[in-house]
């Protein structure tokens, strides 16, 4: 089953092995539920750990793992990314995971090919698509004003750009 990045361990909390996870998932309450498994990427290894407790604290999830309920066992995970499994059951029929956008072709509403999506990140206000445009990185805000259609099946995103967003030689 495919996995998807759902957050990053940014610290520990207390002495009983809780880690602070900054979630990048729209489904945090589902992802970090007691009994679920998540994958911690640590020193090139992927460790599948079972969640035994989870709660929200100051916009982070405080999570403890089975057999790792001691700060000395988990502080090494600080800075590690955490992954969950792509569960299509979390999505409505017309929804998709943002990771599904990476590799899609981006074209203008006039039919001009702009490039390929290389990554997506959140700038604090909204998501941004990074596009490889003739070897240069172009950042396009993932908002309705720019994104006109996303066709996962045909692997294309249609955008409407404002003048000056890309250098048109």
- Cβ neighbours, 10 Å, residue 82: 28
Residue 56 lies in a domain: yes
Question: Nearest-CA neighbor of 74 among 167, 158, 9?
Answer: 9
Residue 97: CB partners within 8 Å, gap ≥ 6?
4, 86, 91
Q: How far is CA 44 from the centre of its chain?
A: 19
User: What is the pTM assigned to this prediction?
Assistant: 0.64
Q: What is the pLDDT of residue 1?
A: 60
Residue 168 lies in a domain: no
* Same domain as 82, residue 7: yes
* Same domain as 71, residue 17: yes
Q: What is the pLDDT of residue 59?
A: 87
Residue 19 lies in a domain: yes
Among 45, 61, 87, which residue terminates a domain?
Answer: 87
Q: What is the pLDDT of residue 165?
A: 65
| Tokens coding 14 | 């207390």
Q: What is the pLDDT of residue 169?
A: 47
CATH number for the domain harbouring residue 67: 2.40.30.60
Q: What is the pLDDT of residue 85?
A: 83
Q: What is the pLDDT of residue 164?
A: 62
Q: What is the pLDDT of residue 158?
A: 93
Among 65, 87, 109, which residue terminates a domain?
Answer: 87
* Same domain as 83, residue 11: yes
* Same domain as 67, residue 25: yes
Q: Give me the residues of the chain with pLDDT under 50, please.
A: 169
Q: What is the pLDDT of residue 167?
A: 60
Instruction: Provide the domain limits for residue 136.
Output: 98-159
Number of domains in the chain: 2
| Tokens coding 107 | 């074209």
Residue 64 lies in a domain: yes
* Same domain as 62, residue 137: no
Pairwise CA distance, residues 156 & 151, whole Å: 5
What is the C-alpha end-to-end distance of the chain, expressed in Å? 43
**pLDDT tens sequence across 85-129:** 877 666 776 777 777 888 999 998 888 898 999 988 777 788 889
| Tokens coding 34 | 């007691």
């Amino acid at each position: 089953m495919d996995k998807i990045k759902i957050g990053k361990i940014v610290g520990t909390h207390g002495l009983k092995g809780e880690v602070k996870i900054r979630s990048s998932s729209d489904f945090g309450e589902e992802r970090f539920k007691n009994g679920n498994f998540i994958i911690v990427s640590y020193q090139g290894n992927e460790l599948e750990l079972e969640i035994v407790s989870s709660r929200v604290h100051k916009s982070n999830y405080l999570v403890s793992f089975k057999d790792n309920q001691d700060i000395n066992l988990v502080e090494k995970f600080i800075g590690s990314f955490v992954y969950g499994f792509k569960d299509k059951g979390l999505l409505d029929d017309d929804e998709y995971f943002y990771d599904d956008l990476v590799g899609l072709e981006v074209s203008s509403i006039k039919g001009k090919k702009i490039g390929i999506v290389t990554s997506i990140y959140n700038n604090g206000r909204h998501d941004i698509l990074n596009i490889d445009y003739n070897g240069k990185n172009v950042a396009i805000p993932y908002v309705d004003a720019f994104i006109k259609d996303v066709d996962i099946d045909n692997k294309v995103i249609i955008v409407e750009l404002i003048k000056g967003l890309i250098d048109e030689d």
